[in-house]
Amino acid sequence: MEESGGWRTIWSGDDPLTAPGPFEVRFAVTRTPVKKVRVTLDTKRRAGWNEIDAVELVPGDIVLMEAGNLVPADGRLFVTATVEIEEAALTGESVASPKDTAAIDKADVPLGDRHCMAFMNTSVTRGRGEMIVTTTGMGTEMGHIAELLNKTEADKTPLQKQLDDMADALKRRMEQRQA
């Protein structure tokens, strides 16, 4: 760990998925405490944990997660103690996935096999861990899914099409009777 001018470096590199550690992230050592998500910006003393609102998270923040918490952003786990995360919304798996801190050797690994990553809106079902936020908002895996859903155009169902046809037929009949 390296400190300089109110900043601490604990992770660097382009790809948090394949980073072997130790990690480097630069972040400010002061933040305004609010609520909901525990984020540390001072790893020197454990009393330095602050609670902030999840919308204030930025890449590089460190988040403490415990059983029962919702993961607030995508991130790389660097401390785990029997962590299991339920990722059914992303992977379809009905069982929580065990997580660890080991780097993954391959690129383009499926979401379900990324054992060193935690993803936004998944639930921690067991254990305790710390992660470095890598992406937030629409840059997360959930954000990619939301973007795909926003791009799709909603077609009418067959029933809706039949009802429209019936309404048009009734309208024509009514116009014919009035003429």
User: In this predicted model, which residue has the larger pLDDT, 34 or 89?
Assistant: 89
Structure letter (DSSP) for residue 102? P
Structure letter (DSSP) for residue 21? S
Identify any residues that bridge with 49 across adjacent strands, giving them in sequence order: 40
Structure tokens, 44:
């020197």
The confidence score (pLDDT) of residue 49 equals 67
Name the domain count of the chain. 1
In the predicted model, what is the mean pLDDT of residues 4-29? 44
d(C-alpha 87, C-alpha 177), whole Å: 60
The confidence score (pLDDT) of residue 162 equals 94
Quote the radius of gyration of the chain (alpha carbons, Å). Answer: 24
Band of pLDDT at residue 166, cut at 50, 70 and 90: very high
The whole model's pTM is what?
0.62
Q: Give the domain range for residue 67.
A: 2-178
* Domain containing residue 130: CATH number: 2.70.150.10
Given a cut of 90, whether residue 37 has pLDDT beyond it is no
Residue type, position 161, single letter: K
N-to-C CA span, the chain: 86
Structure tokens, 59:
């890449």
